[in-house]
Amino acid sequence: MDPRKTTPLLLSLALWAAPAGAEFKVCASTPSLGLAANADLDAEVWQEADGEKHQFSDDVYGTLKDYLDRARLSLARPVPSLAGFAEITSSEVARLPVTFKTQGIAFDGATPLFSWRYGLQRTDARYKETLTRPLAIPPDIQAAHYDPARRNGFSHIGDIDVAGGRLLAPIEDEDNRTKPFIALFDPKTLEYTGEKHLLPVDKLPHGVPWVAADAERRLFYTMNWNSQDLQVFSLDDFRWLRTVPLSVVRGTSPVVRVQGGKVHEGMLYLSSDAPGRKRVYKVDPDGGGALELFGFDEPEKAASQGLAFGPDGSLHILVLAPYSYDEVFGPQYEINGDDWNPASKLLHFTRVKAPLRQRLCASP
């Protein structure tokens, strides 16, 4: 049965709800091209998969103390050095499985990729590590971020993405917010390709927390931290193209504290670490209309991070355990979401009702 012939009343209601004078398009060859987000046409329903939550945890204190002591010693020398950051051993890496699944997630085909503040990891389909680059931040980027006078300016990798055989990693200077970069890696080897692009600081004055690539349209997206504006860039030459202000067309909460994003079926999906209830939004990247799809509850100070769509269309969201302090070594060894976290989990969601627009525009 042709779904385009079975929902005339719903279509009429959607057309009636369109702004006066607007050119209202229901279907297009490219899903998001020229289509304004509509609460009736684009709403969809997701359900968390029962029993499929993956927990990642480990006792990290001893290893982290040794590692941090070496790094601090290097920085305390008369001529500060970053050498301490390169001295973590393979045996130490094996004791830190969680720290490489804390910031972002993407898929290279069917293979999951993860990021943490300083590195990258590939896993198998059950999220068991197969390759880890614990310190993947390129030295040239870390050197550009580090401030010898302040002895800070440490780089931070956010939510990653894969497009055209390249892994895109957003790397910001978390301390001084000076130079937001996109660095390119080989998704198979996790090796830095040597290519990096400095994004405009005036558009991203508080860093580049995530990147979402639209390979079909040759674009990528990000947002300044906690802003309401989507920044659009060319995936070919990494030029800034335009700013798209976001406005919620379905839901009661503004889009805040976005920690991750991915393009799926032409629309942009965002993970919001909102105070209280965590939320997922579906955004029209051309017009900026945002639909709140669903929310989920986590303990206080837990952090919703990156998200990604698997090859089967399922949605996966990283959530960090609540922030805490190490009572043994003191507050200088804070265990928090951006540095060292003792636990995280990966939530899995399945779409149980597709958007009306998809059903209307399906081929007969």
Sketch the domain layout of the chain as residue ranges. 3-360
Contact 198, 174 (CB under 8 A): no
pTM above 0.85, yes or no: no
Whether pLDDT at 9 is above 60: no
Distance CA 17, CA 147 (A): 53
What sign for the dihedral angle of Cα 116, 121, 124, 128?
negative
Q: Is 31's pLDDT higher than 60?
A: no
101 three-class SS: coil
> Given this model, what pLDDT does residue 315 score?
97
- Mean pLDDT lowest among 79-83, 161-165, 282-286, 294-298: 79-83
Higher per-residue pLDDT: 239 or 6: 239
pLDDT at 13 over 80: no
Q: Is 85 in a helix, a strand, or coil?
A: helix
CA distance 231 to 221: 6
Q: Is 268 in contact with 283 (CB distance < 8 Å)?
A: yes
Q: Which residues, other chains included, contact 93 with Cβ-Cβ below 8 Å and sequence gap of 6+?
A: 132, 134
Q: Which fold has domain 3-360?
A: Tachylectin-2; Chain A (2.115.10)
Please give the full DSSP string across 184-236, using - where no structure is assigned: EE-TTT--EEEEEEEPPTTT-TT---B-EEETTTTEEEEE-TT-SEEEEEETT
For CA atoms 63, 347, 105, 209, give the dihedral sign: negative
Tell me how far apart the alpha carbons of residues 269 and 315 are, in angstroms, rounded to a whole number.
10
Looking at residue 324, the DSSP 8-state letter turns out to be: B
Amino acid at 284: D
Whether residue 148 contacts residue 104, with contact meaning beta carbons closer than 8 Å, is answered with no
As a whole number, mean pLDDT of residues 251-271 equals 94
